[in-house]
Every structure is written in C-alpha cells, then in structure tokens.
Amino acid sequence: MADIARLTQVIEPEAKALGFELVRVRYYKGGEIGDEEHTLQIMAERPETGQLVIEDCAALSHRISDALDALEDKGEVLIDEAYRLEVSSPGIDRPLTRARDFAQWAGHEARISLINPVEGNRKSLQGDLIAIEGELVTLADKKSGQVSFPLADIHSAKLVLTDKLIAATRPLDTSGADDFVEEQED
C-alpha cells in the first residue's frame, strides 16, 4: 500500500506552486465491483473560490506526474503497482479533512464515520456541525443529540447536500459562459 504521508509531502508543494490548497490525498483499490485498478485521488482547491476548473486539474495532474516520475528516476518508488491519477475539486458536498473544514462549515449538515464509537456504540453520525474547539468536534446528531469526539477519531466526514449548503457555496466559475451561443430554430 502507498505511504499517504510521503505522497502528501511530494504533492502538497506542487499544489501550492500553482496557488492551490490540498484538500485530500487518498489511495484506494477498486470502486466498482470487480474493479482491481488502484487510484491515487487528489482533491485540491483555489482558496479564493473553493474549486478547481478543468485547466487547473490538468496543470496539477501534470505537476504531480512529473514529481513522482522524478522521484522514481532517483530510485524512490512511492507506488509499486499500476494506478490511475485522479485530480479534482472537492465539490459542493465536499469531504471534511482538515480542522479548518469543520470550523468553516459549522452550521451545515455532515455525515461522519468514526473509528471509535460514541453515544451507545454509534460510529455513524449525521447532523449539523456545531463547532470544533482544539481537536474536539461537536455535532448535533439527528439520533443522539449533541455529541463530541476527537478529530483523530474521524474515519471519514462529508458535507450533506442541502439547500442551505447550496445557498452558502460560492458560485462556480462562469468564465466563458458569455461566449455560449444558443441557436434558434426557424
């Protein structure tokens, strides 16, 4: 399996060089039943918009590929098997991976999977994020009420797509939209 910490050390400076912030580095096998292909998934964003456009994804993909190839040429192989490189924006129902994500999206609904159970053996929670103080996340869970747990106990967390979230997100990049020409039928 790939060393995510080492991959992040290599990928983060490449993202920063383009003015992006790294959101997540994930390496996984499959995705669909019978899919044996490995994927190195990179999510990044422009700090000012919270998104990446296609050209940004392509530029970051090339930088990451070049950096990994350069290390391999020097004898450091970070991923042994064949893999697909996937570079994307985190999207509107984004994963929450950093402490600041929990602070920024407080008041919005999230789905959280925990490593260690809370409130009567519950590992799956869903509700409004209340706050993060230090390393302690507080959530108004729909079933258990207010619960708090360490950030380190989170296996995965993701915003839930709601009308409130849609209203709160920044508009997508609309560059080129004025160039769109709609043809009229006669």
Any domain includes 186? no
β-pairing verdict for 122-133 and 136-141 = antiparallel
pLDDT averaged over the chain?
A: 90
Identify the CATH number of the domain in which residue 134 sits.
2.30.30.180
Structural domain total, the chain: 2
Spatial separation of the C-alpha atoms in residues 145 and 138, rounded to whole Å: 10
Asked if residues 64 and 17 have their Cβ atoms less than 8 Å apart, the reply is: no
Identify the CATH number of the domain in which residue 17 sits.
3.30.300.70
Residue with tokens 């994804």: 57
pTM over 0.85: no
pLDDT digit string, tens, across residues 120-176: 788 999 999 999 999 999 999 999 899 999 999 999 999 999 999 998 885 555 555
Spatial separation of the C-alpha atoms in residues 27 and 39, rounded to whole Å: 6
Spatial separation of the C-alpha atoms in residues 141 and 148, rounded to whole Å: 10
Query: Looking at the structure, do residues 80 and 103 belong to the same domain, yes or no?
Result: no
Asked if residue 119 has pLDDT above 60, the reply is: yes
Any domain includes 114? yes
**For every residue of 25-43, which 3-state class applies, written as one string?**
EEEEECCCCCCCCEEEEEE
pLDDT digit string, tens, across residues 61-83: 999 999 999 999 999 999 999 99
Domain that holds residue 39: 4-88
Query: Looking at the structure, do residues 72 and 131 belong to the same domain, yes or no?
Result: no
Query: Looking at the structure, do residues 60 and 117 belong to the same domain, yes or no?
Result: no
